[in-house]
Structure 1
Amino acid sequence: MRSRTPARGPELTELGLGAAQLGNLGREISDTDARGAVDAAWDSGVRHFDTAPHYGLGLSERRLGAALARRPRTGFTVSTKVGRLLEPSPATAHRRDDGGFAVPAAFRRVWDFSRDGILRSLEGSLDRLDLDHVDVVYLHDPDDHWEQASTTGVDALVELRDQGVVKAVGAGMNQAAMLAEFVRRTDVDLVMVAGRHTLLDQSARDELLPLARERGVGVVAAAVYNSGLLAARRPPADATYDYLPAPRELTARAAALADVCERHGVTLPQAAIAYPLRHPAVVSVVLGARDARQSRTNAERLATPVPEALWAELADLGLVPDAPGAPGAAPAPREGT
């Protein structure tokens, strides 16, 4: 597994394991499958793991921490997120969580980007992960909280970074415009952009990616399958896009992308993973997995060479704006440990 080192922040393997599914995203998975996903990712060379309190009301962090407990702490990078405090809610513990995770609603999420809220959130994450530190902390989905997140939120994270508590700080969102504002106006090291730098949505290329490149801010690309539409060789009839039924025009475009991929001996998911990594601002792609098989599949897809002729044809057909980067334009990769 190859790694890239951003100008500001820790070395990251080109593939990271996103742990939302370890929090029972959409449906329950067993502890055995959750551990299997982490173990198989590790065996494939993955050393970059991303989680959040939001994912399963802490379940993702607990499962990830347990799976990493016997690994050498200096051998991997963990990122988590702040902005949603978990407050005990015994009155709703008999209900199902309404945040998209198949877990009991024993906690409620409270938006809080204050200094105290961030410190409390990180303390809770460290306890659930059973770690003495995490490497990267992101402000999580501050779409409706720009004023607080960009001031007290960033200031608290920078304070932690300057104290050596964390190595890098940033923001993670499902949009590119506000992330560009974080890069432009605040002292962040990394941003995680979900679903906006993919074969189907290149909106991060307009401003965020060039600005990040200019400012030396690393970009982690998440949700590169757009929640499912790019996850199979051919888009299924019931495919989702951004967790909703995929619009007909996007399904047709995904099918056209798959046609080109097939002509070049590449699958659509393989191209979906390779595409973001071609841009010189991108330092890692984060993919979720529910079990060992999915983790192994992710690593195999990353390892598959994608010919330059594929990108050229996609550009010629107008399916992508242009080839997202020239070979060798990205930061020089290093072999992971």
Structure 2
Amino acid sequence: MKKRPQIGLGCVTFGREIDEAASFTLLDYALERGVRHFDTAAAYGGGASETILGKWLASRKPEGITVATKILPPYDRIEITPSLKRLGVEQLDLLYLHQWHETALQLDSALDERVVKQLGASNFTLEQLQAVVPRFSFVQNNHNLAVSDVSDEFRAYCTANGISIVTYSPLGAGFLTGKHQSGVQAGSRFAIIPGHQQVYFHDSAYQRL
């Protein structure tokens, strides 16, 4: 991978909370301000996020950027052709396994470097990461002032094993703005994916607002 950027733009809302035009506006804004890493997933919007990002890449042809996407299990046979087609690229800078699954233990170690430069894990616990650590150079977990899946022990282990930590949801999917204290806002991520409420809507998180 090129020089590792310190900040990137997550594309989880593309094609779900916001449409293509709004997504393009955000992408242009980010690019103009120096963002050079873009993170998406096959699961975001049922592939819509990858498709929108791919259209933007084809339209703007930005230079010096990196793209990461994620795939869902099982992982015994990695199939990334659909993601490559939606993104309109022949090679991924970074591919994450989106969540833990026992087939991660069977991951093909001969992953074609011409197609995937580096491999990462997302939403893995320390124990799960330890089981597969030789294969990964990145790990991406939730980390913000309300909720964190990056403990001191987790961080120390990654540092000792040369694993770069990428964190997501710096504003807690909007929770840390305080706008949900009186209830879930219509059209928000918590309304569209109610399961997100379980992550943030509890006493310990509210106490940190």
Fold conserved between structures, TM > 0.5 = yes
C-alpha distance 165-73 of structure 1, shift in aligned 2 (>3 A):
farther
Partner of 1:222: 168
C-alpha distance 215-114 of structure 1, shift in aligned 2 (>3 A):
same
Partner of 1:187: 135
Partner of 1:113: 75
Residues 293-320 of structure 1 deviation map (CA, whole Å, 9 limit, x = unaligned):
xxxxxxxxxxxxxxxxxxxxxxxxxxxx
Per-residue deviation, 1:190: 0.7
Partner of 1:11: 3
2:44 to 41, 55, 60: 55
CA-based RMSD of the aligned residues comes to 2.5
C-alpha distance 74-169 of structure 1, shift in aligned 2 (>3 A):
farther
Per-residue deviation, 1:234: 7.3
Per-residue deviation, 1:238: 2.7
1:167-182 alignment to 2 at 5 Å?
A: 167-173=117-123, 175-178=124-127, 180-182=129-131
Structure 2 counterpart of 1:112, one-letter code: P
Per-residue deviation, 1:44: 1.3
In 2, are the aligned partners of 1:17 and 1:41 still within 8 Å (CA)?
A: yes
Task: Provide the C-alpha distance between the structure 1 equivalents of 2:201 and 2:29, rounded to a whole number of angstroms.
Answer: 30
SS in 1 for 2:155: helix
Partner of 1:30: 19
Per-residue deviation, 1:82: 2.0
Residues 212-233 of structure 1 deviation map (CA, whole Å, 9 limit, x = unaligned):
1111111110122222221x26
Task: Provide the C-alpha distance between the structure 2 equivalents of 1:168 and 1:235, rounded to a whole number of angstroms.
Answer: 37
1:57-96 alignment to 2 at 5 Å?
A: 57-72=46-61, 74-83=63-72
Q: How many residues align?
A: 199
Task: Provide the C-alpha distance between the structure 2 equivalents of 1:238 and 1:133, rounded to a whole number of angstroms.
Answer: 43
C-alpha distance 73-41 of structure 1, shift in aligned 2 (>3 A):
closer
Task: Provide the C-alpha distance between the structure 1 equivalents of 2:168 and 2:131, rounded to a whole number of angstroms.
Answer: 18
C-alpha distance 203-243 of structure 1, shift in aligned 2 (>3 A):
closer
1:160 to 112, 117, 142: 112
Residues 74-98 of structure 1 deviation map (CA, whole Å, 9 limit, x = unaligned):
5110011123xxxxxxxxxxxxxxx
Residues 274-306 of structure 1 deviation map (CA, whole Å, 9 limit, x = unaligned):
xxxxxxxxxxxxxxxxxxxxxxxxxxxxxxxxx
Sequence identity percentage: 30
SS in 2 for 1:46: coil
In 2, are the aligned partners of 1:180 and 1:207 still within 8 Å (CA)?
A: no
Partner of 1:251: 206
Partner of 2:104: 149
Q: TM-score, normalised by structure 1?
A: 0.53
**RCO comparison, higher one (Cα < 8 Å, 6+):** 1
Q: TM-score, normalised by structure 2?
A: 0.83
Residues 185-213 of structure 1 deviation map (CA, whole Å, 9 limit, x = unaligned):
4321111112xx32233442232211111
Q: Which runs of 5+ in 1 are unaligned?
A: 1-8, 84-110, 255-337
C-alpha distance 250-82 of structure 1, shift in aligned 2 (>3 A):
closer
Is 1:208 the counterpart of 2:154 in the alignment?
Answer: yes
Per-residue deviation, 1:13: 2.4
